[in-house]
Amino acid sequence: MIPWWLLAMFVVGTNFALWATVGLLRLLDGAVARHRASRRTSGGVHRLRKRAARGAAPARPGSLSVDDVAVLIAAHNEGPVIADSLRAVLEVVPRANVHVVSDGSTDDTFDVACRCGVRVIRTSTNLGKAGALQEAIERFRLVDRFEAVMLLDADTRVDPGYFRAALPLFDDPRIVAVAGCVRSDWCRSGLSAVGKLLVCHRQRIYALTQYLLKFGQTWRRVNATHIIPGFASLYRTEVLPHIEVNPPGLVIEDFNMTFEVYRKRLGKVGFTPSAVAVTQDPGTLGDYVRQTKRWALGLWQTVRRHRLRADLFSGMLVLLLLEQLTSSVLLVLLPLVLLLLVVPELLGAVLAVPEVAAIHGFVTTHVGFGTLLFGVVLPDLALTCAVALFLRRTRFLAFGALFPLLRILDAVIALYALPLVWLSTSTGRWRSPSRRELGAETISDTGSPASSDTDSPASAA
């Protein structure tokens, strides 16, 4: 009989255990560093407080501010949502710093961006996100004009505290990119029951991967993460000329840009859970499947493009991929195993078939109901409870029993996408999922909405 804890290790993930431990070490290291810094600077605290009482304290010499950051949005048919994203970012970034490239849009994306008064260009054809980003970086001359650039998705709203949390990470000269912390947009008015389930499932994935994986992976002492998500992340512009943003044959750009940072030894990646941006996840099953397949295909395409080396990044990547494969196979087999355990209990006559009896005997020798309960169901439920407690959202508990079904769907998609790396070609062009307009509940759930400013004249570049 397979030990339940071994099954739980494969299904839940050794990566979580490993990098969560590293994350705890990072927290301890940060606490020690802050304690030492407070002791060294205790003599100057009184002067700083007096200066702060007279007004905002000036930024530290060499520190980046929002004036140094360009915001770049590549948008393809994002008319329903781009105004909300622009209003949110214009609350914290100067208008002249915000740039939009309408990538062959056939809706009103270009006109909406123009009415928001930001810098806007458009491409004559749909280049794909990576191609649009590359063209915009060159046409806007972002490398020459700014110290850093934020790559922002058109459906993503930046939290007011994003830059306060993210920019100080660049005080470390080794940090060349900062990954944002994603939260799902929860808008009940625009979601069906299936949509609510999908969004909760995706947010659970975000919470687990960001707090149990990425936080540990981006510790300065062991820095190796497999993705800087393209929804809302920052790059030093000085490294962009060294990154091949739009290589041929890749369906998405963010995996490749992350691999380029590590493979070319350009620097390290920073991450803080306080640099939050809210994005829209698919609200229909069809959109969810297409996006998940695109992400899975993009990862394997990037792995194929970049050779493994004897370094920490490759070690992290190999462990991640092996675990993804093994857990995907186990999850895909799970319904069949459950069927082989349940059906003979209900219909004992099926065991009269020799083939069925042989398979049933093999399965029951290795797996039982207790193994599945303690090795799959309860660990997954424990993760759901932890996320619900940490995020203070009881909605996760309401859908907890259905999350394993979506994990099986994710596993099927991951295995389906693997052979497509060799059997299909990708242009990078994409079709956005169905978008939901900003709802009242979303505003109360994520913070106050940005004030409207859509009547300002556009400054097209």
| CB 200 within 8 Å of CB 399 | yes
Q: Which helix (H) or strand (E) holds 43?
A: none
How many residues are given for the chain?
Answer: 461
Is the pLDDT score of 61 beyond 80?
no
Could you give the domains of the chain? 1-20+65-446 (3.90.550.10)
User: For residues 35, 36, 42 and 45, what is the CA-based torsion angle, rounded to 10 degrees?
Assistant: -60
Least confident residue range of 39-48, 289-298, 450-459: 450-459
Determine whether 173 is exposed, middle or buried from the number of CB atoms within 10 Å of its CB (0-12, 13-18, 19+). exposed
Residue 285 pLDDT level (bands cut at 50, 70, 90): very high
Q: How many CB atoms lie within 10 A of CB 54?
A: 7
Distance from chain centroid for Cα 141: 27
Encode burial over 316-328: b for 16+ CB neighbours within 10 A, e otherwise.
bbeebeebbeebb
**pLDDT higher than threshold 80 for residue 188:** no
Helix, strand, coil content of the chain in percent (nearest 5): 60, 10, 30
Q: Could you tell me which residues are beta bridge partners of residue 120?
A: 100
Q: Rounded mean pLDDT of 159-178?
A: 97
Q: What percent of the chain has pLDDT over 70?
A: 89
Q: Which of 298, 270, 316 is nearest to 427 (CA)?
A: 298
Model confidence at 437, pLDDT cuts 50, 70, 90, reads low
Per-residue pLDDT, 47 = 53
H helix or E strand, kind and range, residue 351: none
The secondary structure of 226-269 as a DSSP string is S---TTEEEEEGGGGGGS-SS-TT-S-SHHHHHHHHHHTT--EE
Q: How confident is the model at residue 52 (pLDDT cuts 50, 70, 90)?
A: very low
d(CA 221, CA 167): 20
* CA nearest neighbour of 279 among 433, 411, 126: 433
Whether 14 has a pLDDT exceeding 90, the answer reads no
- The residue written with tokens 């393809």 in the block is 76
Look at residue 448 in the predicted model and tell me its pLDDT.
35
pLDDT of residue 6: 86
Rounded CA gap, 336 and 341, in Å?
A: 9
At 48 the pLDDT is 44
How would DSSP label each residue in 294-339?
Answer: HHHHHHHHHHHHS---SSHHHHHHHHHHHHHHHHHHHHHHHHHHHH
Q: How does pLDDT run across 228-272, given as a tens digit for each residue?
A: 999 999 999 999 999 999 999 999 999 999 999 999 999 999 999
Ramachandran class of 423: left when φ > 0, alpha when ψ lies in -120 to 50, beta otherwise: alpha
Q: Token digits for 434?
A: 């169905």
Question: What was the pLDDT predicted at 372?
Answer: 92
CB 163 within 8 A of CB 92: yes
